[in-house]
């Protein structure tokens, strides 16, 4: 009753959007597609929501085939496309009523499902969607996608361009929806949101890099990773990159994430090397890899 893809490929003219993608989302799972713009996330969503047909491969949503049974799928899924696709000139209430009507239901009938989302925007229900903040648009779009009580929810980059507070609230809402038995497939370019999913697929350039739980993906990271800091960031990066034993060097906020080729790496070796190159205030400390480190390692 979940989602299943096997060997899905899709090209636009000469550009291969997705290649040979296979994965399964279990019923009731919160599954994340994590990858940058242009990775093929939206193409996958459109194939699963029956908006595009795959060139190769098969896919099912709630055991229904996305090509043959597209009419049945369209009745039972909720879809929130990448941009908040709302009618800007209609009020919150009118948008919601409209989507309820075209799915043959009413707001009252499924109010319990959207209640804790909708109450936050209900005070503004006479306001037009075009005049809402990003966070409020996002909540309205989610309410609209939920109004017909879908079994599966497809959310394509629901948090892009939304402030951190709304992003946090949004993920809390998803967790609650999941408890109500809805299967959720969500995509995001934010690596830090990956940790909030049950399982994730890391995707880049139309191919899947890895599929697993966020914890396992991080655990699989093959190297010890170090935070390095010094008085001159640019010089530090240059020196680390030219260091003969360096394996990877990535700026990471105020630090540089460094991994070494050698298993027997000693912090003080690097410390003295950097000092010899004229850097000061050097800090080197072991740290934990995160999803983004794993992503870069896999994409390398």
Partner 1 sequence: MKRFIGFVKKEFYHIFRDKRSLFILFGMPIAQILLFGFAITNEINNVDIAVLDHSKDATTEEIINKISASKYFTITQFISHEDNIETAFKKGKIKAVINFEKDFSKNLIKERKASLQILTDATDPNTANSITNYINAILQNYQQAENKDIEVAYQIIPQTRMVYNPELKSVFMFVPGVMTIILMLVSAMMTSISITREKELGTMEILLVSPLKPFQVIIGKVVPYIFLSVVNAMVIVLLSITIFKMPIQGSLFLLGAESVLFIITSLALGILISTIAQTQQAAMMISLMGLMLPVILLSGFIFPITSMPIPLQVISNIIPAKWFIIIIKGIMLKGVGISYLWKESLILIAMTLFFISLSIKKYKIRLE
Partner 2 sequence: MKTENVIEAKALTKKFGDFTAVNKISFEIKKGEIFGFLGANGAGKTTAMKMLIGISKPTSGQANVAGFDVYTQTENIKKNIGYMSQKFALYDDLTVRENITFFGGIYGLSRKRIKEKTQQLVSELGLEEIKHQLVGSLPLGWKQKLSFSVSLLHEPRIVFLDEPTGGVDPITRRQFWEMIYKAADRGTTIFVTTHYMDEAEYCDRVSIMVEGKIEALDTPKELKKQFKVDSMNDVFLRLARNIE
Name the nearest CA neighbour of 95 among 62, 77, 118: 118
| Cβ at position 140, least distance to partner 1 in Å | 12
Contacts for 246 with CB less than 8 Å, ≥ 6 apart: 240, 258, 259, 260, 261
Residue pair 226/284 in contact by the 8 Å Cβ criterion = yes
Binding partner selected for residue 101 from partner 1, partner 2, none, CB under the kind-specific 5 to 8 Å limit: partner 1
Q: What value, to the nearest 5°, has the Cα angle with vertex 299 and ends 265 and 223? A: 20
Give the footprint of partner 2 on residues 103-142 (CB under 8 A): 133-134
Sheet holding 15-25, edge to edge: 15-25, 3-12, 56-61, 64-65
Name the nearest CA neighbour of 295 among 221, 188, 227: 221
- Residue from 12, 27, 36, 89 in contact with partner 2 (CB under 8 A): 36
CB count in 10 Å sphere of residue 205: 15
Stretch that binds partner 1, among 70-78, 173-181, 231-239, 241-249 (CB under 8 A): 70-78
- Residue from 67, 189, 207, 210 in contact with partner 2 (CB under 8 A): 189
79 makes contact with partner 1 (CB under 8 A): yes
174 makes contact with partner 1 (CB under 8 A): no
Stretch that binds partner 2, among 3-11, 22-30, 55-63, 247-255 (CB under 8 A): 247-255
Residue pair 152/127 in contact by the 8 Å Cβ criterion = no
Binding partner selected for residue 265 from partner 1, partner 2, none, CB under the kind-specific 5 to 8 Å limit: none
Element (H, E) at 222: none
> Measuring CA to CA, how many Å separate 179 from each of 119, 167, 184?
19, 19, 11
As given in the structure block, the two tokens for residue 151 are 């079994």
266 makes contact with partner 1 (CB under 8 A): no
- Residue from 61, 191, 197, 270 in contact with partner 2 (CB under 8 A): 191
Binding partner selected for residue 268 from partner 2, partner 1, none, CB under the kind-specific 5 to 8 Å limit: none
| Cβ at position 180, least distance to partner 2 in Å | 26
56 makes contact with partner 1 (CB under 8 A): no
Phi, psi of 115 (to 5 degrees): -50, -55
Give 3-state DSSP helix, strand, coil % of the chain, rounded to 5.
40, 30, 35
| Per-residue contact string for residues 92-121; x = within reach of partner 1 by CB under 8 A | --x--xxx-xxxx-----------------
| Per-residue contact string for residues 135-164; x = within reach of partner 1 by CB under 8 A | ---------xx-------------------
Residues that bind partner 1 (CB under 8 A): 46, 49-53, 70-71, 74-75, 77, 79, 81-83, 85-90, 94, 97-99, 101-104, 144-145
Residues that bind partner 2 (CB under 8 A): 35-39, 133-134, 160-165, 168, 189-192, 204, 232-235, 237, 250-254, 292, 295-296, 299-300
């Amino acid at each position: 009753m979940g989602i299943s893809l096997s060997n899905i490929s899709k090209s636009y003219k000469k550009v291969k959007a997705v290649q040979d993608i296979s994965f399964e989302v279990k019923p009731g799972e919160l599954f994340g597609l994590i990858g940058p713009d242009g990775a093929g996330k939206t193409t996958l969503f459109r194939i699963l929501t029956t908006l595009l047909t795959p060139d190769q491969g098969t896919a099912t949503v709630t055991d229904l085939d996305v090509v043959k049974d597209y009419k049945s799928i369209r009745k039972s899924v909720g879809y929130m496309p990448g941009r908040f696709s709302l009618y800007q000139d209609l009020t919150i209430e009118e948008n919601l009523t409209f989507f309820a009507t075209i799915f043959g239901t009413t707001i009252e009938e499924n109010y319990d499902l959207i209640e804790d989302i909708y109450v936050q925007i209900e005070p503004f229900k006479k306001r037009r969607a075009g005049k809402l903040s990003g966070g409020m648009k996002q909540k309205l779009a989610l309410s609209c996608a939920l109004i017909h009580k879908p079994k599966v929810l497809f959310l394509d980059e629901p948090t892009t361009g939304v402030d951190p507070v709304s992003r946090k609230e949004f993920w809390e809402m998803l967790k609650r929806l999941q408890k109500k038995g809805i299967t959720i497939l969500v995509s995001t370019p934010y690596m830090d949101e990956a940790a909030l999913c049950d399982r994730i697929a890391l995707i880049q350039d139309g191919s899947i890099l890895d599929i697993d739980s966020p914890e396992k993906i991080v655990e699989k990271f093959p190297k010890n990773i170090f935070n390095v800091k010094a008085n001159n960031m640019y010089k530090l990066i240059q020196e680390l990159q030219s260091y003969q034993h360096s394996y990877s060097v990535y700026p990471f906020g105020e630090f540089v994430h460094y991994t070494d080729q050698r298993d027997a790496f000693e912090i003080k070796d690097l410390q003295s090397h950097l000092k010899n190159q004229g850097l000061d205030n050097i800090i080197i400390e072991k740290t934990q890899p995160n999803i983004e480190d794993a992503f870069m390692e896999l994409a390398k």
